[in-house]
Structure 1
Amino acid sequence: MLRPVDEAAHRAASDAEVVAWVDEQDRLLGGVPRAELRARRLIGRGTYILLFNSAGELCVHRRTLSKALYPGYWDVAAGGMVLYGEDYAASAARELAEELGIVGVELVEHAHFLYDAPESRLWCTAYSAVSDAPLVLQPEEVLEARFISVEQALEEPRQLPYCPDSLAALQRYLAALH
């Protein structure tokens, strides 16, 4: 059963989270509130988890309209900001559990890269996981989710709004396979 969400309170709490702040070489400088990191265009850390089912289909989900970045966009990866004091792998496991309700799966690391766009500057680590467990969507973060082929996930951004940062993670994942 979905519970009512106070979207303003959720966004305020999210913006107040203390996230890892790093330099251009991904060396930890400290922790800052998420909103300050974004406002000052500092570099943070992020994780992207590409969730596949055993048929090889990729989970894509649509972000809530309350998200500060890319509201209502489709996303090819679960994930988010690495909290201060947290490492990439712990962040990936936490985000996958929070957003999609998937726990206890092996996370395979595929790429570590700098994503530098006007709206977001992040050192990122992309992971993949495989699970056929039922999804449990976090209502504050995810409107809907579905599994589609990787080919469809690469084609859909031509017609639908997709998060460019997670698409960058998918591209790096695909390049690492070859």
Structure 2
Amino acid sequence: MDELVDILDDYGNYTGHTCLKSEAHLKGLFHPTVHIWFYTNKGQILWQQRGAQKDTHPLLWDVSVAGHIGAGEDMAIAAVREVQEEIGLEILPSELHEIGFFKSVHKHSDTLIDKEFHHTFCCELKVSLHKLTKQETEVEDLKFIEIGTFEKRVEQNELEGFVPHDLSYYQVIVGALKKRL
């Protein structure tokens, strides 16, 4: 779905300009997104397998929930909206715990350049996997991976099958989730 997004400068500051998400991707303009990492009190991370029809990284395992922040939209409200859309879970903004703000650049093709700043949160998942409802156009599958298991994969840089985020990003995520347990 094409939506209006705010345009950011190279440092993540709002420029006061907006454009359609498709134009931001075509021109390689920075724009804001949200990432929400769900974890369980048993030390598991919820992973989303991206839909087969996605333009970027189809069928790779990725952050529990992610999406674009609409122009003028509050980032916590965007996070809550994306969680409801992608996995059918209703959460409150107060359940989100900020992890950080990450710059990401991926040139997929000459007409698709992802230049984003990810506002990244974690949230405890308090329901079982079968209570979640996958958004058919976005999510192929959901699964849990033990934090320690994923941490070892990160340490050994064995991330085949996962979206190629910077290794340092995954290290920060693992550290933040371990602190929540």
> What 5-or-longer segments of structure 2 have no aligned partner?
108-112
Gaps of 5+ in 1: 1-13
Q: Does 1:28 align with 2:14?
A: yes
Residue 78 of structure 1, CA deviation: 0.8
Give the whole-Å Cα distance in 1 for the aligned partners of 2:6 and 2:33.
9
Is the alpha carbon distance of 1:128 and 1:20 closer, same or farther for their aligned partners in structure 2, counting shifts above 3 Å?
same
**1:109 matched to 2:98:** yes
Most deviating of 18-27 and 41-50: 18-27
How far 1:103 moved relative to its partner? 1.4
Mapped pair 1:74 → 2:68:
no
Distance 1:72 1:172 in 2: 24
TM-score of the pair, normalised by structure 1: 0.81
Identity of aligned residues (%): 23
**For 1:89, what is the secondary structure of its paired residue?**
helix
Aligned partners of 1:74 and 1:166: how far apart in 2?
14
Say whether the 8 Å CA contact 2:104–2:118 is kept in structure 1: yes
Query: What is the deviation of 1:54?
Result: 2.2
Change (3 A) 1:120 1:28: same
1:47 to 1:165, Cα distance in 2 relative to 1, 3 A: farther
TM-score (norm. length: structure 2)? 0.80
Query: In structure 1, the residue corresponding to 2:70 is in which secondary structure?
Result: coil
Partner of 1:137: 134
Moved more, 42-51 or 97-106: 97-106
Aligned match of 1:38: 25
Compared CA separation, residues 165 and 80, structure 1 to 2 (3 A): farther
**1:83 and 2:35 correspond:** no
Aligned length: 164
Displacement of 1:96 after TM fit?
Answer: 1.3
Residue identity in the other structure for 1:171 = Q
User: Does 2:163 align with 1:163?
Assistant: yes
Task: Judge conservation of contact 2:147–2:174 (CA < 8 Å) in 1.
Answer: no
